[in-house]
């Protein structure tokens, strides 16, 4: 499993917005502050807007802001927004449900389900605020 670069940058964008909180930021300011190109920021920002993590205000004094507080946005929220559901094995990719240990004889599926659940737990325990300098 490899996290997409757009997910990493989405986290950086949200961290930057949190650390410099309180006002609207232009796309150019955020792109520069997060260390990404303007076109890549626009692409990620559109996805973050659709996912309900940021909002934008149009017009001369417009810009972007967090839609939720940084301590309410988990890393898993960002992952879901950018990458979709976590599917780390073939069985999980084709829709095989995670089975209870005693009701399923595929031990590989059981292992990957436990691994998936552990990863999700770790990502839900971390928020944008907890990974930011501003805390």
Cα(26)–Cα(38) distance, rounded to whole angstroms?
11
Confidence of residue 102 (pLDDT cuts 50, 70, 90): very low
Task: Output the pLDDT for position 77.
Answer: 98
The verdict on residue 134 lying in a domain is: no
Across 93-118, average pLDDT: 68
pLDDT at 58 exceeding the cut of 80: yes
The verdict on residue 135 lying in a domain is: no
Q: Give the up-direction half-sphere exposure of residue 72: CA atoms within 13 A in the CB hemisphere.
A: 7
CATH of the domain at 97: 1.10.10.10
User: Mean pLDDT over all residues of the chain?
Assistant: 87
Cα(79)–Cα(128) distance, rounded to whole angstroms?
12
The verdict on residue 104 lying in a domain is: yes
Domain that holds residue 27: 5-125
Task: Output the pLDDT for position 89.
Answer: 72
1 within 8 A of 88, measured Cβ to Cβ: yes
Most confident of 34-43, 58-67, 93-102: 34-43
């Amino acid at each position: 499993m490899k996290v997409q670069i757009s997910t990493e940058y989405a986290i950086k964008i949200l961290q930057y917005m949190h650390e410099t909180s309180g006002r609207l930021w232009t796309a150019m300011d955020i792109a520069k502050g997060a260390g990404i190109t303007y076109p890549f920021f626009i692409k990620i920002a559109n996805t973050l807007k659709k996912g309900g993590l940021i909002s934008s205000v149009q017009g001369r004094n417009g810009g972007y802001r967090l839609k939720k507080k940084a301590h309410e946005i988990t890393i898993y929220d960002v992952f879901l927004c950018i990458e979709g559901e976590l599917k780390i094995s073939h069985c999980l990719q084709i829709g095989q449900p995670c089975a209870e240990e005693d009701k399923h004889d595929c031990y590989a599926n059981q292992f990957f389900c436990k691994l998936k659940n552990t990863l999700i737990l770790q990502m839900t325990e971390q928020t944008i605020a907890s990974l930011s300098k501003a805390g």
